Amino acid sequence: MRLLVLGGTQFLSRAVAAEAVRRGHDVVCANRGQSGTVPPGVTTVRWDRDQPAPAELTDGDPYDAVVDVARTPSHVRRALAAVPNAHWVFVSTISVYADHGDPAGPGEGRLLPEVTEDLDPMASLENYGGMKVACERLVLEAVPSAAVVRPGLIVGPGDPSGRFAYWARRSTATGDVLAPGRPQDLVQVVDVRDLAAWVVGLAEHRAGGTYDGIAPERPFADLLAACLPDARLVWVDQEFLQAEGVEPWSGPDSIPLWLPRPEYDGMLAHDAGPALEAGLEPRPVDATTRDTRAWLDADPAARITGITTEREAELLARWRAQP
């Protein structure tokens, strides 16, 4: 298979390119060359997607498949115009859903209004999710066959968000660790390598359909037990954390992966069944934790988000001092 990966220098797109090379495919990565390096064994074409596609991209043998992770509608339009006849796998996001309390799955009535302009995706969830909705539609309407994958929280070595890394860093802890919210709250993660392998498989088989690209949900207590097997988890309720100014999800003042309930009951509780039936094979969380910890130990520049251990100790002391 001759595969075009739009990107190939960061996290998921890089993992896709690496997996495709490992399987013996002819892989071309098109990118600006400013965000990292491509895996060994790929051919690189320089392309700033604010500009028309260079002739180097389209000269030569046709592509059998394209993998695109773009979030900007104009970038997707230019890529579709350049490679209109290949099978496409477009990587979207669960942020396309309008109601994160509802994990019910695909359906036009549950999607955000599409945003066809090129806006700042980091300015709001509506911008990011709405532009991804528009990108999905562009792909599905333009090419003869396509799959749309909507991942949830992607984790593992190389994760630029630092969210799962917060817990992987603590994986050898033996003392008290603050666990946010309720033990039974559902969460989902998917290892970047498992997602990449599945995306390559969808390209190989020219598979169609729209999927939530996520591993099965599990109670937060089970995930943290897999991440921190020797720690003593101290569960602290969300009302206390919110009153103390702790942020959810990500950021320097956050406890990562924690989400307010019930408004986010569905965000990390999507139905993984269709993705599993279509070939996604998630590995155990403890394996992802071990490999993420090894990456953190080997790369001093690896990002970790979340509160400091000093702030955590302060919160635990205040929690225990309550009447």
Q: What is the pLDDT of residues 134-153, one digit of tens each?
A: 999 999 999 999 999 999 99
The pLDDT of residue 122: 87
pLDDT, mean of residues 182-186? 97
- In the predicted structure, residue 100 carries a pLDDT above the cut 90: no
The pLDDT of residue 103: 63
The pLDDT of residue 52: 95
How many CA atoms lie within 13 Å of 18's alpha carbon, on the beta-carbon side? 15
CB of 72 closer than 8 Å to CB of 49: yes
CA quadruple 2, 288, 218, 253: dihedral positive or negative? negative
Q: For the chain, how long is the longest CA-to-CA vector?
A: 73
3-state secondary structure of 206: coil
The pLDDT of residue 323: 84
Length of the chain in terms of residues written:
323
Superfamily of domain 2-151 in CATH is NAD(P)-binding Rossmann-like Domain (3.40.50.720)
The pLDDT of residue 43: 97
Where does the chain hold its CATH 3.40.50.720 domain(s)?
A: 2-151
Give phi and psi for 200, each to the nearest 5: -65, -40
- In the predicted structure, residue 18 carries a pLDDT above the cut 80: yes
CB of 43 closer than 8 Å to CB of 27: yes
- In the predicted structure, residue 130 carries a pLDDT above the cut 70: yes
The pLDDT of residue 56: 95
- In the predicted structure, residue 125 carries a pLDDT above the cut 90: no
**Angle, CA of 246, 249 and 254, to the nearest 5°:** 30
SS3 content of the chain, % helix, strand, coil (to 5): 35, 20, 45
